[in-house]
Structure 1
Amino acid sequence: MKTLSMTLAFAIVVAAGTPALGQDGEWRHALALDAEPKYPAGFEMFDYVNPDAPKGGTVRMSALGGFDTFNPVLPLGEAAGGLGLVYETLMTPSGDETSVSYGLLAEAVRYPDDFSSVTFRLNPDAHWQDGEPVTAEDVLWSFETVMELSPIYSEYYAPVEDAQITGEGEVTFTFSETGNRELPYIMGQLMVLPQHWWEGENADGQPRDIGASTLELPMGSGPYELTSFDAGRTVTYTRDPDYWGINEPVNIGTHNFDEYRFEYFRDLTVAFEAFKADEFDWWIENMARRWATAYNFPAVEDGRVVREEFEEPYRAAGLMVGFIMNLRDPKFENPLVRQAINYAFDFEELNRTMFYEQYQRIDSFFYGTELAAPDGPPQGLELEILEEVRDLVPTSVLEGEYTNPVGGSEDALRANLQEALRLFGEAGYTLNGTQLVDANGQQFGFEIMLNGPTIEPIALHLAQNLNRIGANVTVRSVDSVQFVNRLRSFDYDVVYQGWTQSLSPGNEQRYFWGSSSVDEEGSSNYAGISDPGIDALIERIVMAPDRDYLVAATRALDRVLLAHHFVVPSYTRGAYPTARWNRFSRPETLPEFEIGFPSIWWWDEEKAAATGGN
């Protein structure tokens, strides 16, 4: 774990007359990064929910791999799916706005004009599932714990230099920097854990340890309790009839199922067969061939299974996914090598022969959003920002736009592989017979690590094309637990992985590709990026004074990331293809930025009777 750059002070202000921090600013019911919140103080519910949705039934979800812990903090191990039903955060987002959150465990928030601190006032009604109140001490302890145990959180919340209880049920976080508009917002995402429970004893009289893995049933403040499990295979959550927040505005019309069940599978093909056999209810399709050819089974034909595509999740998220090269390995240090590898990826051929023309090639780290660098050379404010770091970024950034190689035919692939060989040659590699070797005669090669076999045909396509020009590239699929552990410890040459972006990027950019996260195990800096130009642009994003500057700085960062060729971008589509057993209903109008399944959907007894209830 990286040593924090500052000492965190955790003090409780109890002495009479001790000055309280964070008293600047008015109390607010919501936090918004870019605009005024849509919902005013005292709002009754979100517009997109059905307040009369019936309560009942079971929803069964699938998960890949397994689980070995119910501890949501530890960076190692595989936490069970659904723990967010047990644990809650200070604030919670709405589904029809971007970067806006409303009070949950915290009923109000305030911060000064310079964003140097933020204070949360807890909802006095909030209590744990054992009846004990949620306290400011719980918040401080939770913050201290995640900072100590989780590299991701320690990076995310690194600007916090002080945390104190500053009033009855009030917690103030003071920052080491000013002007970062995002910091109050991300502090509202803090997951709060019950200190008294974790510091107590289990049923065997043994002290609990937040720093250790556990399969003891957890206790939280959320709407559901984890009530049973089959280790690594199934986990079941049951509605808490005494949930404190059932009538909170952010919860009206949500949490409509009596029971959530997560079924685990080691292989997606096996999971799909289980879905067809009605072993769980909801399927998100990730294979074009299967979407085009495998839905001719009886339950689809007679309407018991419904297929539907949703655009909503793509409206608020940018995406980069592909083959990520680990620059911690010297063979990938040269950008010419990384660029050459991209020339061996023939997306157009794959889209024609395997994807049924369902996909588009990704060409941005913020693909599908206004944050993606536009076509043509940078202009206006974006150009001004890049001029400030001209000496720290590739010259190509200021000259024009990034483009992926285009294939789709044998002639095009042959030309692309010739260009790849040229780039390898500039990087110091030569052909020795049929082998591409470096100056020491060592053949160029690497292993592509995959999380299961789904992407194997695509990875093998890339490997075979590179091997045609003398490389030695292999593909290895591992199980989910091994994949996660190797990903966290950066134990791979090339990995198929990605990043999802919000419409308001900020601190998370530091642990995606900032120098401070390059050696931080568990960070999302999968490529091992440590670059002063990228660091400078990240700080401009983090400290952006307004939306226009944020967009321009993010587009500038996008151009620079692309120019370094850290990733061979793969592909995506503009909608979620889904299938479900037809025993659920939903609000007439879904929120703009999410499907809302299963949180705002509900069990429909009439449909379930016709379909065959689970």
Structure 2
Amino acid sequence: MHMPSAAKRLIFACGAALTQGAWAALQTTPFVAVHSAPLYVGLSAMPYANPAAPKGGYLSSSSNGTFDNLNSMNGKGSAADGVNYLFDSLMSSSLDEPGVMYPLLAEKATFDPQKPAYVIFHLNPKAKFSDGSPLTATDVKYSFDAFQTKSNPGLQMYLADLAKTEVLSRHQVKMSFKSDSNAEMPLILAQMPIYSKKDWSRKDFSRITLQPILGSGPYLIERIDAGRSISYKRNPDYWGKDLPVNKGRYNFDRLKYVYYRSLDIAFEGFKSGQYTLHEELTARKWVTEYHFPAVKAGMVVKYRFQHYNPIATQSYVFNTRRAPFQDIRLRQALTYAYDFEWQNKALFYGQYRRLQSFFSNSELEAKGLPSAAELAVLKPQLAKLDPVQRAGVLKDWKYSVSDGSGFNRSNLLIARQLLLNAGYTFKDGRLLDKSGKPVEIEFLIHQDGLQRTLMPFVRNLKRLGIQMTIRQVDVPQYIERMRTKDFDMTTDAMPQSLSPGTEQAQFWGSASADQPGNYNYAGIKNPAIDAVVQQLIRAPDRASLVTRTRALDRLLRAGYYQIPTYGKGENWLAYWNMYRQPQRKPKLSTGIDYWWSDAAQAQKVAHYLRRK
């Protein structure tokens, strides 16, 4: 396709680079970066890769529940794990730098990093799908048009600032934005998978499918055992294998995900060699259950990976759409009933720390009293807040601490007084609301074994006169009830990044509260939070982003929408001793895509398993 002369003039006119550390208005750069300067431009391989890593072997891991859909972008059913390996995105994220991406399908991008009104992605002419057909700007436009009209509500909201996608030429695609105040938009667009327009010409994007989808990524589907396992094989003809971001990457010939209905059964499967890489999520198991023969024989290795990301916010979620949780004073009182100190000592072997923030383990966490910069963000919003929330955002925040005895007496006395001050009454050992109705709560879960960690909270609520019932359902029912927000309370683990942006509106924004399938599980509808989220999305620099995120953190904590529980700033992994890693580890990810198989060790493991 002939490039229009206007597009040529535009592209040749905007080829500047960083000058004296400051951006020019319009740039054409071989990266996309938000609020930071990239470190690895021009390198032949990423510093956390081993370009000489051998290819071969396999890696298998477990998944929870089941799957019925290979299209993870339409929000239907349960998407299969690993489908991301079928597709390339326009650029690839750095595992060392927050908010930095390097060339993949796109060789470079043209945009104003301070006030992006649009971005032009310049595709690599060598890019092709796994069937050998070329990947062009038409495929990029098709993909984003589909995401904006046929995907789940959460993704559509994530892309809400995208006004339109235009094909400028065979290898240039322009994406225009509804405003120029969302600096994150080029980064958001650069990370989306690209689908083939031709492949979808006779298929319905909005339907569940287990029919293989054509992609341009490093792996192909090898075998599907519906609902039980899915295997992928490395594509030897992968077009992008020699790109700098891919040198020493995707070394395994095969990847496999084995599905289990129970985490306990999955662990037994790992011990018997049914899969080879296991991420441990339970402190008790991590401390007490890795003494089985394969560990003692050196065939299974335990590995702690210390990362520098915000800890995923594990919490108990109040559904504020329902009574009695519309009352912030009740939510505040129930927060005092959570006894982390005893739980960590008695159940978790001291392996966790109490989460004091929705962005723990990072510079985004709000600590101490609000700074002058944070107050400048918060003060215009104070009049919109409930008095309890207003007081909370202005203080040096700390969740209640118990003496670890298991009785939590002092905190329960505080909770009781808060309830009395809020107009609740006690009769015959039951807590009654203002209408005289007993306060009863159903706590929705699907995980086996979670009752053990919930029972101390249940007992403490009983001491406050509150009847809590734990309701365990199977995974499909749990997914549907979460999608439709059909619960009183539940658990959640909300991941965060070092570059928060548009996704915060999905997590906490009023517009997402009543959208099926979105992530605002607490049902937050707070104009102050909406305003600060929008300011965060439109932060002009890193300092402003950090300040506004800290302000959001204070608003979320003081609203008592969730009870943040516990977490850790590391990943606990165990694997059969057949893998090697680059000497230098990335800071923001375990970097498993850069691991490789040691053939000699793999033979030893195979021999050991045959003997067993």
Letter in 2 for 1:58: Y
Give distance in 2, aligned partners of 1:412 and 1:564: 26
Give distance in 2, aligned partners of 1:411 and 1:295: 28
1:368-390, CA deviations, whole angstroms, 9 ceiling, x for partnerless residues? 11111012x21221122222323
DSSP-derived class of the 2:237 partner: coil
Matching of residues 109-120 of structure 1 within 5 Å: 109-112=109-112, 114-120=115-121
- Please say if residues 136 and 170 of structure 2, whose CA atoms lie closer than 8 Å, have aligned partners that are also in contact: no
Matching of residues 374-393 of structure 1 within 5 Å: 374-375=367-368, 377-393=369-385
- Please say if residues 222 and 231 of structure 2, whose CA atoms lie closer than 8 Å, have aligned partners that are also in contact: yes
- Please say if residues 86 and 220 of structure 2, whose CA atoms lie closer than 8 Å, have aligned partners that are also in contact: yes
Give distance in 1, aligned partners of 2:313 and 2:419: 25
For residue 74 of structure 2, what is the aligned residue in structure 1? 74
For residue 175 of structure 1, what is the aligned residue in structure 2? 177
Give distance in 2, aligned partners of 1:260 and 1:480: 24
For residue 41 of structure 2, what is the aligned residue in structure 1? 40
Which residue of 598, 606, 610 maps to 2:600? 606
Matched, 1:133 2:134: yes
Which residue of 475, 484, 490 maps to 1:480? 475
Following superposition, the deviation at residue 318 of structure 1 comes to: 3.9
Which residue of 162, 167, 188 maps to 1:165? 167
Give distance in 2, aligned partners of 1:16 and 1:488: 48
For residue 23 of structure 2, what is the aligned residue in structure 1? none
DSSP-derived class of the 2:160 partner: coil
Which residue of 182, 187, 208 maps to 1:185? 187
Matched, 1:373 2:366: yes
- Please say if residues 76 and 207 of structure 2, whose CA atoms lie closer than 8 Å, have aligned partners that are also in contact: no
- Please say if residues 76 and 206 of structure 2, whose CA atoms lie closer than 8 Å, have aligned partners that are also in contact: no
State which drifts further: 602-611 or 258-267.
Answer: 602-611
1:115-161, CA deviations, whole angstroms, 9 ceiling, x for partnerless residues? 11111111111111111111211111111111122211111110111
Which residue of 478, 486, 502 maps to 1:507? 502
Which residue of 226, 232, 236 maps to 2:227? 232
Give distance in 2, aligned partners of 1:583 and 1:175: 48
Give distance in 2, aligned partners of 1:475 and 1:353: 21
- Please say if residues 506 and 520 of structure 2, whose CA atoms lie closer than 8 Å, have aligned partners that are also in contact: yes
Letter in 2 for 1:189: Q
1:529-578, CA deviations, whole angstroms, 9 ceiling, x for partnerless residues? 11111111111111111111111111111111100111111101222121
Following superposition, the deviation at residue 451 of structure 1 comes to: 3.1
Letter in 2 for 1:496: T
Give distance in 2, aligned partners of 1:119 and 1:379: 38
- Please say if residues 316 and 593 of structure 1, whose CA atoms lie closer than 8 Å, have aligned partners that are also in contact: yes
Letter in 2 for 1:242: D
1:259-296, CA deviations, whole angstroms, 9 ceiling, x for partnerless residues? 00111100011011111101111111111111111111
State which drifts further: 255-264 or 438-447.
Answer: 438-447
Unaligned 5+ residue runs, structure 1? 1-11, 201-207
Which residue of 328, 349, 356 maps to 2:349? 356
Kindly tell me the number of residue pairs found equivalent between the two proteins.
591
Normalising by structure 2, report the TM-score.
0.93
- Please say if residues 7 and 168 of structure 2, whose CA atoms lie closer than 8 Å, have aligned partners that are also in contact: no
DSSP-derived class of the 1:341 partner: helix
For residue 3 of structure 1, what is the aligned residue in structure 2? none
1:300-348, CA deviations, whole angstroms, 9 ceiling, x for partnerless residues? 0110001111102xx0234321101111113111111111111111111
For residue 19 of structure 2, what is the aligned residue in structure 1? none
Matched, 1:518 2:520: no
- Please say if residues 56 and 258 of structure 1, whose CA atoms lie closer than 8 Å, have aligned partners that are also in contact: yes
- Please say if residues 318 and 503 of structure 1, whose CA atoms lie closer than 8 Å, have aligned partners that are also in contact: no
For residue 20 of structure 2, what is the aligned residue in structure 1? none
Following superposition, the deviation at residue 479 of structure 1 comes to: 2.6
DSSP-derived class of the 1:467 partner: helix
Distance 1:541-1:224 versus aligned 2 partners, 3 A rule: same
DSSP-derived class of the 1:356 partner: coil
Following superposition, the deviation at residue 225 of structure 1 comes to: 0.5
- Please say if residues 76 and 152 of structure 2, whose CA atoms lie closer than 8 Å, have aligned partners that are also in contact: no
Distance 1:281-1:411 versus aligned 2 partners, 3 A rule: closer
Letter in 2 for 1:73: M
Following superposition, the deviation at residue 257 of structure 1 comes to: 0.5
Letter in 1 for 2:227: G
State which drifts further: 20-29 or 184-193.
Answer: 20-29
Give distance in 2, aligned partners of 1:318 and 1:605: 35
DSSP-derived class of the 1:55 partner: coil
Which residue of 155, 158, 162 maps to 2:157? 155
Give distance in 2, aligned partners of 1:553 and 1:166: 36
For residue 554 of structure 1, what is the aligned residue in structure 2? 549
Following superposition, the deviation at residue 467 of structure 1 comes to: 1.6
Give distance in 2, aligned partners of 1:606 and 1:16: 58
Following superposition, the deviation at residue 468 of structure 1 comes to: 2.2
DSSP-derived class of the 2:594 partner: coil
DSSP-derived class of the 1:218 partner: coil
DSSP-derived class of the 2:332 partner: helix
DSSP-derived class of the 2:139 partner: helix
Letter in 2 for 1:36: A
Matched, 1:332 2:325: yes
Matching of residues 82-97 of structure 1 within 5 Å: 82-97=82-97
Letter in 2 for 1:96: D
- Please say if residues 62 and 260 of structure 2, whose CA atoms lie closer than 8 Å, have aligned partners that are also in contact: yes
For residue 5 of structure 1, what is the aligned residue in structure 2? none
Following superposition, the deviation at residue 72 of structure 1 comes to: 1.8
1:496-534, CA deviations, whole angstroms, 9 ceiling, x for partnerless residues? 002111111111111110112112211111111111111
DSSP-derived class of the 1:107 partner: strand
Give distance in 2, aligned partners of 1:485 and 1:19: 50
Letter in 1 for 2:163: E
Give distance in 2, aligned partners of 1:111 and 1:542: 17
Normalising by structure 1, report the TM-score.
0.93
- Please say if residues 138 and 170 of structure 2, whose CA atoms lie closer than 8 Å, have aligned partners that are also in contact: no
Following superposition, the deviation at residue 395 of structure 1 comes to: 2.5
- Please say if residues 59 and 254 of structure 2, whose CA atoms lie closer than 8 Å, have aligned partners that are also in contact: yes
DSSP-derived class of the 1:140 partner: helix
Give distance in 1, aligned partners of 2:106 and 2:358: 34
Give distance in 1, aligned partners of 2:270 and 2:443: 29
Which residue of 249, 252, 255 maps to 2:250? 255
- Please say if residues 345 and 404 of structure 2, whose CA atoms lie closer than 8 Å, have aligned partners that are also in contact: no
For residue 58 of structure 1, what is the aligned residue in structure 2? 58
- Please say if residues 448 and 459 of structure 1, whose CA atoms lie closer than 8 Å, have aligned partners that are also in contact: no
Following superposition, the deviation at residue 432 of structure 1 comes to: 1.7
Unaligned 5+ residue runs, structure 2? 15-25
1:52-78, CA deviations, whole angstroms, 9 ceiling, x for partnerless residues? 111001111111111011122221210
Matched, 1:535 2:530: yes
Following superposition, the deviation at residue 18 of structure 1 comes to: 9.2
CA RMSD of aligned residues (A): 2.0
- Please say if residues 217 and 227 of structure 1, whose CA atoms lie closer than 8 Å, have aligned partners that are also in contact: no
Letter in 1 for 2:169: G
Distance 1:409-1:252 versus aligned 2 partners, 3 A rule: closer
Give distance in 2, aligned partners of 1:474 and 1:357: 28
- Please say if residues 319 and 368 of structure 1, whose CA atoms lie closer than 8 Å, have aligned partners that are also in contact: no
State which drifts further: 473-482 or 153-162.
Answer: 473-482
DSSP-derived class of the 1:27 partner: strand
1:352-382, CA deviations, whole angstroms, 9 ceiling, x for partnerless residues? 111111110001011111111012x212211
